[in-house]
Amino acid sequence: MLQAFLISCDKQHQVFESNCNEGISFKKIGFSELTNHLEKYDKQYVEVTGKYVEGFEQSALFNDSLFADHSLKKALWVNFSQECPLYLTGTRIGLFEYHNGAFTQINKRYITIKGQVNVRNTGYLKKYKGALDKVSFIKL
């Protein structure tokens, strides 16, 4: 039983990266700190963790805390771009490519993401707090 638990804890993370932000240092920041003080971080490059949710006209990162506000006004629009193609580390397998009979599932998963904060981009129908543009890193 203990062995099964230890094996499940050793699950490998998948990392998808782009070279579009090479040479830029990212500030690691908590989700609440970022959304509560978004103006302070505008145009800065950050690394943040949260729960990613995608759907019809939705691509958003939410606070992963059970006690946080999970409304759209406290979420960040995730603006994936063809300018920053994301590939599985060490391969040419893209995040949004069909591979081994399936697409990589990121919906409703906890992810670490790196990108540039944009307070003026409030996403689809201007419902979100702000956006993460130039996404160049996703860890699942």
**DSSP states of 49-116:** EEEEEEETTEEEEE---TTS--SGGGSEEE---TTS--EETTS--BTTSEETTEEPP-TTEEEEEEEE
What type of residue is 139?
A: K
Residue 48 has pLDDT above 50, yes or no: yes
Q: Are strands 98-99 and 102-103 parallel, antiparallel or unpaired?
A: antiparallel
Domain boundaries, the chain: 12-139
Higher pLDDT, 131 or 57: 131
Report whether pLDDT(12) > 50.
yes
Mean pLDDT of the chain: 90
CA dist 48 and 41 (Å) reads 12
Taking the domain 12-139, which CATH number applies?
2.40.50
**Can you tell me the mean pLDDT for 80-89?**
95
Least confident span in 4-8, 56-60, 119-123: 4-8
Q: How far apart are CA 11 and CA 118, in angstroms?
A: 33
Q: Are 135 and 84 in contact (CB under 8 A)?
A: yes
The pLDDT of 4-16, averaged and rounded, is 64
CA distance 94 to 29: 26
Whether residue 10 is predicted with pLDDT greater than 60 in this model: the reply is no
Instruction: Record the pTM.
Output: 0.87
Q: What is the mean pLDDT of residues 10-25?
A: 89
